Structure 1
Amino acid sequence: MSGTMTSNCSFDEVDKLMASLQLVIYIPVFVVGLVLNIVALLVFCFLLRKWTESTIYMTNLAIMDLLLLSLLPFKMHATNHLWEAHHHILCSILETLYFVGMYGSIYTIACIAADRWVAICHPFRAKQLRSPRVALGTCIMIWLVVIGATSPVYGFHEQGKTTFRCFHTFSDKGWSPALISCLLSFGFLGPLMVLVMCSAQSIWALRQSRKDSPKSTTCVKIIYSSLFAFLVPFTPSHLGILLQFLVRRGMIEDCEAKRGISLFVQLTMSLANITCCLDALCYYFITREVRSSRDNLSFRLSRSMSQRRATSTSES
């Protein structure tokens, strides 16, 4: 998303600084995120052994995060090395997968909020609207939508150059008003509105009910952790995309401002990958919720069996 020279405005210092900063950001995110998401998948698939709506969404989120993390080594290499022209197809595939992972995470977090909203605010309709099958179908739909929406990435780089920088220096086609409008509207603002509205109504309903049960407390924590995992990484990065779009359209011409925006957009796009670590908060609270509900079920069953035994003993 940067260039070494644009209209006699050099970005060499920005690129050199980001070459170091990206390594400082990517290496810890890659290591920590890989461990957390692999552990989450093992817990959801083998330890909980109960496929609820929440665990299905969280499994999908962990897979999206692992996809994002698997591409960080390529991003680190592209930061410090120019790629040969015959690697255009490989670069386009990697960029497409990267955006699939990023926007797949965004849509999954929004769907988690919507699922919570239905369960809390519409409990009588929840049995009709919520089920593991519906959650699985929604996750499949997310994959289809983000793969289809990110397919234009194949035409983002200028052809004919002997070398290019993958994940950077998109052509003017990649910064067209229609494309950026769709990206910001459907890739960020739409899911953001769903997340904020569903979260606010869910928290309000829980507070109105005046229930301080452990389940309600855990549910509130899940909602707040989803908000945190969405707003912290994705809000600054999409603001950076908007500012860089204004630069590419010639609306911002001051050289220092352009340098500052170039640094801001590269830094925020790098920091957006911390979502792979922040999602672990959601994993933790979901795991507690599922285990708590399972323990409560076991307790009720054991109490019911004890009552039956007591009744049969008294009758005899």
Structure 2
Amino acid sequence: MELSPPTCRDNLTDNCSTQHVDQLMTVLEMVIYVPIFVTGLCLNIVALLVFCVCLKKWTECTIYMTNLALMDLLLLLPLPSKMHAANYRWSGDLQPLCSFLENLYFVGIYGSIYMIMCIAVDRWVAICHPFQAKQLRSPKAALMTCVGVWILVISATFPVIYGFRESSQVEFHCFHRFSDAGWSPAVIGSLLAFGFLGPALVVVLCSVHTIRTLKQSGQRSAQSQACVKIIYSSLSAFLIPFTPSHLGILLQFLVRQNSVIQDCAAKANISLFIQVTMCLSNITCCLDALCYYFIAREVRSTKHTFRRSFSGLVLQQETSRHHFNPKKL
């Protein structure tokens, strides 16, 4: 996730220089982005090949994970341009290209967040509500949900991002120096509420309920234990990259409101924090490929196990009710 952190080249403050932060980030971005780009590209391409070529039957989980891999690729593709733009200015006539690359990046970030949310909800329905899952879960429903996510993220991102840059023929740093409209309370509030906090709340609640259901069911099979471990790892892979970066966005928003944070040292620390956490948040494209690859198999096997358990429980309750009905005594 990247929202143009303040740099000395952006001249956001008159008397407070962050040149030392910019020089440090020039090195750190290369160190962080190169392995993320190479590893993430290889893992997600392999995942797409497995889902689209090796697996003959499309299930709900494979549909969600295929779209997640596509979202992660959208996040990865602009990274070389981001590395170049961090060190070199682009001519003014490249602003449309820059805005397009920025849009791809934002679509990849928030598309991944919403796709992970869909996977968590699908897993929760399959394990915690196995009877309703027969009506709610289907490959067609999963496909329609993914199409809806693509439409939602693209329609919410492209019109907004294109308006963040002011028309100018001067040289500029792509992925930096958005206009004040990009840091307005309405934009940042919507970004934090609907881009991260809302999906994060859904992912956490679904994951906690699913883990509780698995532990309370009495099932101690290897598949059940593996499913719990995958849920923990996927939840960590979601919260660890995105929570610090969105905290940095909130802090930088307060910096942009000049009356809130005025201390020069605090501004420099926030500038370093937001840039480092935003760079590290891109590691989600690698963690997704590692964490979600095995979800479909584990959820499907666990789902059938709990469907039998809950079916037996319901049958037992019905039998007890008929045999021990006081009205029949």
Both proteins in one fold, TM over 0.5:
yes
CA RMSD of aligned residues (A): 1.7
Q: CA deviation at 1:290?
A: 8.0
Cα distance in 1 for residues equivalent to 2:296 and 2:147: 22
Which of 89, 109, 114 matches 1:82?
A: 89
* Matched-pair identity in %: 66
The reply to whether residue 116 of structure 1 matches residue 120 of structure 2 is no
Q: Return closer, same or farther for 1:287/1:201 CA change in 2, 3 Å cut-off.
A: closer
Number of equivalent positions: 294
Q: Return closer, same or farther for 1:156/1:91 CA change in 2, 3 Å cut-off.
A: same
**Conserved 8 A contact 1:225-1:281:** no
Which of 128, 139, 158 matches 2:166?
A: 158
The reply to whether residue 262 of structure 1 matches residue 266 of structure 2 is no
Provide Cα deviations, 1:134-179, integer angstroms capped at 9, x if missing partner.
1111111111111011120011123335011111111111000001
**Residue 72 of structure 1 aligns with which residue?**
79
* Greater helix share, structure number: 1
The reply to whether residue 3 of structure 1 matches residue 10 of structure 2 is no
**Conserved 8 A contact 2:90-2:172:** yes
SS state at 1:83 partner: coil
The reply to whether residue 247 of structure 1 matches residue 239 of structure 2 is no
Cα distance in 1 for residues equivalent to 2:31 and 2:7: 21
Cα distance in 1 for residues equivalent to 2:14 and 2:188: 23
The reply to whether residue 171 of structure 1 matches residue 179 of structure 2 is yes
Give 5+ residue unaligned stretches, structure 2.
Answer: 306-329
Q: Which runs of 4+ in 1 moved over 3 A?
A: 287-293
**Residue 316 of structure 2 aligns with which residue?**
none
SS state at 2:282 partner: helix
User: 1:1-316, aligned counterparts within 5 Å?
Assistant: 1-4=5-8, 5=11, 6-151=13-158, 152-160=160-168, 162-250=170-258, 251-286=260-295, 288-289=297-298
Cα distance in 2 for residues equivalent to 1:249 and 1:290: 46
**Conserved 8 A contact 1:48-1:291:** no
**Conserved 8 A contact 2:123-2:299:** no
Q: Return closer, same or farther for 1:218/1:54 CA change in 2, 3 Å cut-off.
A: farther
- What TM-score results when the alignment is normalised by the length of structure 2? 0.86
**Conserved 8 A contact 1:233-1:275:** yes
Provide Cα deviations, 1:249-290, integer angstroms capped at 9, x if missing partner.
111010110011011111111111000111123233236538
**Conserved 8 A contact 2:127-2:299:** no
Q: CA deviation at 1:55?
A: 0.9
Q: CA deviation at 1:14?
A: 0.8
Q: Return closer, same or farther for 1:202/1:287 CA change in 2, 3 Å cut-off.
A: closer
SS state at 2:294 partner: helix
**Conserved 8 A contact 1:2-1:15:** no
Cα distance in 2 for residues equivalent to 1:126 and 1:287: 15
